[in-house]
Structure 1
Amino acid sequence: MSRVFGKVCQNGYVVRDIEAAMKHWVDVLGVGPWFYIEDVKTDWFRYRGQTSDVKMSIALANSGDLQIELIQQRNDTPSMYKEFLDAGHEGLQHMSYWTETYQDLYDRALSLGYTIGQEGQIGGDRGRFAYFDTGAHPGTVVEISDTSGMKGKTFAHIRQSAEAWDGAHPVRRLNT
Structure 2
Amino acid sequence: MGRIDQIGIIVEDLDAGVQSWMTRLGIGPWTLFRNVTMRGQYRGADTLVTCDVAMGYQGETQVELMQITNDAPSPYRDASGALLTGMHHIAWVVDDLDAAVAGAQADGMTLAFMASSPGTRVAYLESEGQPGMMYEFIESPATRELMDSGIAATRTWDGTNPVTVIDMKAS
> Normalising by the residue count of structure 2, what TM-score does the alignment of the two structures yield?
0.88
> Alignment partner of 1:109: what SS?
helix
Give 1:145's aligned residue: 138
User: What's the RMSD between the two structures over aligned residues?
Assistant: 2.1
Structure 1 alignment gaps of length 5 or more: none
Q: Is the 8 A contact 1:55 1:74 kept in 2?
A: yes
Give 1:7's aligned residue: 3
Give 2:121's aligned residue: 128
Write out aligned runs for 1:1-176 (5 A): 5-42=1-38, 44-83=39-78, 89-124=84-119, 127-134=120-127, 136-138=130-132, 140-147=133-140, 149-176=141-168
Letter in 2 for 1:144: F
TM superposition shift of 1:30: 0.5
Q: Is the 8 A contact 1:73 1:82 kept in 2?
A: no
Q: Is the 8 A contact 2:55 2:65 kept in 1?
A: yes
Structure 2 alignment gaps of length 5 or more: none
What is the CA–CA distance in structure 2 between the aligned matches of 1:84 and 1:133, rounded to whole Å?
15
For each residue in 1:62-98, what CA deviation from the matched residue of structure 2 results, as whole angstroms up to 9, or x when unmatched? 1101110001111111111122995675211100122
Which protein has the bigger strand share?
A: 2
Q: Is the 8 A contact 2:8 2:66 kept in 1?
A: yes
Q: Which runs of 4+ in 1 moved over 4 A?
A: 84-89
What is the CA–CA distance in structure 2 between the aligned matches of 1:164 and 1:85, rounded to whole Å?
44
Q: Is the 8 A contact 2:57 2:154 kept in 1?
A: yes
Letter in 1 for 2:27: V
Letter in 2 for 1:133: E
TM superposition shift of 1:166: 0.8
What is the CA–CA distance in structure 1 between the aligned matches of 2:79 and 2:160, rounded to whole Å?
33
Structure 1 range deviating more: 5-14 or 150-159 = 150-159
Letter in 1 for 2:159: G
Structure 1 range deviating more: 82-91 or 104-113 = 82-91
What is the CA–CA distance in structure 2 between the aligned matches of 1:88 and 1:153, rounded to whole Å?
30
TM superposition shift of 1:123: 2.2
Indicate the percent of aligned positions where both proteins have the same amino acid.
Answer: 26
Paired residues, number: 167
Letter in 1 for 2:96: T
